[in-house]
Structures are given as structure tokens and as C-alpha cells.
Amino acid sequence: MQINKGVFLDLGSVDDGDLQLNALDRTLPEWRFFDATPAAEIAERAADAHLIITNKTELGGALIRSLKALRMIAVAATGTNCIDLEAARERSVVVCNVRDYCSDSVAQHVLGLILNLATGQPFYAQRVREGDWSRAAHFSLHDRPIRELHSLTLGIIGYGSLGRAVAALARAMGMNVLLGEVRGRKPRPDRLAFRELMTNADVVSLHCPLTAETGGMIDRRVLRGMKPGAILINTARGGIVVEQDLADALRAGELAGAGVDVLSVEPPPPDHPLLADDVPNLIVTPHNAWASQAARQACIDQLTGVINAFLRGQPVNRVV
């Protein structure tokens, strides 16, 4: 069967109008690009597509089984949680993803969160805007701890390309880096047991996937067992952390701070527990650690290569 029709269901999740798409557009005779696709319109837009690109638009089992022309799904991300992989396997639909395209972007975002929480810069900046500096008795405000990274230990859970990139920047800043296993796993020779890492690290950064094993891994008991004054960073997936427990721990002063780029529901509802005004020492960013212009272009370029490889009959980055 000739592969000539493709649809990108959520191009706007990757492209802000600043990316080069010409090479991607040339992969097939006919492309339809949509900024976003509501769930009710997916079936219609993908009805005759031989190839679908999706980032986070969900492709459930019933939908995949109904798309008779579909031969390939290309995921504009590494995670494939949005796709019913078993249904794709049943239909012999090839599923490929993109990998290792945003390590530098995520690593600098993580380091930025650590620096902001260790030095208190966002919080001091807010106090300046509120007039505290103008009313100060001295020339300088420094009544909130300002910590130096070289004296801190960073614990990393998840040591793939993202974890390694974060570790390299942390070491360049003089941090001691420890690697840990996910909760419940027997530690490998180069890893600490989960509990040992959580009790010894000044900063913990999560880079593991969301699975049945890691879902809810960081809960109330774990947070209470962390080192006094610890900082938690999550740029992995929101569901790894029990979010209400994190909000409660910050309110109780059990952590020095947290930096979160991912939430369990995205976009989050206004009443999400980590968006409450009274949660202190928390920085929430809108799932954009990965989204430098360079990383987004790398995603598109790798998608182009993945599709061309499939068309040659030699799929790469194959998940199914």
C-alpha cells in the first residue's frame, strides 16, 4: 500500500511559528497540519491518514482499530502514554518516537530551578516588588537562606540521557552527585537504595518514566523522610509525586522548596493543589523544560528522519 497521506494532530504543541517544517512536509505527498485537535474531531481528521503524528493527543484502542488506512504513528515526544500500544500491535501499526532531543534544554531548566530555590531569587524579587527593600533598615536583604551549590548533594532518580545531562551540569557547579533506584527496586552496584538516596540528598531530581512502579512514588511518608532542608525537583511526570502530599509538606516546612515542571493533569484545573496561593517555596513551570527553540527543532528534524526511515522499510526508534 502506498503511504501518501499524513496528519499532524497537535503541531501547536511543538511549533510556535519559529520552526522549519519544509523537510517534514516533503516526506509525504499530502500533509494536513492542525494546531490542536479536540477529541471529538480526531476520527474525522485521521479517517484517511496513512500516518499520524501526535504529541499528546490521545489515540485510544477503539480509534486505532477504526482507522483502516493507518500504517504508522509517529510520536513527537519520547513518552507514548497517549497511545494504546496493544491496539497498534493488533493492527500491525508501527509506532515510533523521538529520543534524546531535549537533554540540554531540560538540564538547564533543572539547574535553573535548583539555583532559584537555593538562592531564593524569585522570592527576593517578589519582596522587592512589594516594597520590602525600600523599607529595609540596611542596604541588603538576606533574611532568607542563600545556599551555595558546591556544598550540596544532588540525588538523581532516572539516569538516562536527561539524568546524565543534569548530573554533568551539577558537577560543573561543584555538587556531589548520587544516583538512586526507584522505590522498591534492589539497588544496582552504582546506585543507592531509594530510601538511602532520599535521606542523604540535599536536592532530589526525578528523571524516571511514569509507570505502575513509579506512580505515586513520592508520597507523604517519603517526603517526611527526606533530609531536613531538602529540595525536590520534578521534570519527569506529575503522577510520580502525590501532589497533595507535596503541597502539605511545603506548608508544614518539611521541605526547603520544590520545583515542578509537570503536573498529573495538564493543563491543570485552577483548583489543583500545587496552584494554591498559600503553598510556600514552590516554583511551578508549565511543562516547558523541554521546549527551547533548538530542542523543538531537533524534535521536528528527528520526526522527519523517523518517517523517512519507515518509508524506506527500516523503522527506527520503534516502540511497536
CA dist., res. 58 & res. 38, Å (int): 10
CA dist., res. 280 & res. 258, Å (int): 9
Identify whether 266 is a catalytic site residue: yes
The answer to whether the CB of 162 falls within 8 A of the CB of 262 is no
CA dist., res. 283 & res. 256, Å (int): 12
Instruction: Name the E strands within the chain.
Output: 5-8, 30-33, 51-54, 72-75, 94-96, 153-157, 176-180, 203-206, 231-234, 257-260, 282-284
Strand order in the sheet with 203-206: 176-180, 153-157, 203-206, 231-234, 257-260, 282-284
Residue tagged active-site, from 41, 130, 148, 266: 266
The pLDDT tens digits of the residues spanning 293-319 come to 999 999 999 999 999 999 999 999 999
The pLDDT tens digits of the residues spanning 75-116 come to 999 989 899 999 999 999 999 999 999 999 999 999 999 999
Residue tagged active-site, from 91, 237, 272, 296: 237
Percent helix, strand, coil in the chain (nearest 5)?
Answer: 35, 15, 50
One-letter identity of residue 104: D
What is the pLDDT at residue 27?
98
C-alpha closest to that of 237 among 259, 257, 207, 258: 207
Per residue of the chain (320 residues), give pLDDT as tens.
789 999 999 999 999 999 999 999 999 999 999 999 999 999 999 999 999 999 999 999 999 999 999 999 999 999 898 999 999 999 999 999 999 999 999 999 999 999 999 999 999 999 999 999 999 999 999 999 999 999 999 999 999 999 999 999 999 999 999 999 999 999 999 999 999 999 999 999 999 999 999 999 999 999 999 999 999 999 999 999 999 999 999 999 999 999 999 999 999 999 999 999 999 999 999 999 999 999 999 999 999 999 999 999 999 999 99
CA dist., res. 280 & res. 126, Å (int): 13
* Domains parsed from the chain with CATH numbers: 5-101+293-311 (3.40.50.720), 103-284 (3.40.50.720)
273 conformational bin, left if phi > 0, alpha if psi -120 to 50, beta if neither: alpha
Residue tagged active-site, from 50, 147, 287, 296: 287
CA dist., res. 164 & res. 214, Å (int): 19
Identify whether 237 is a catalytic site residue: yes
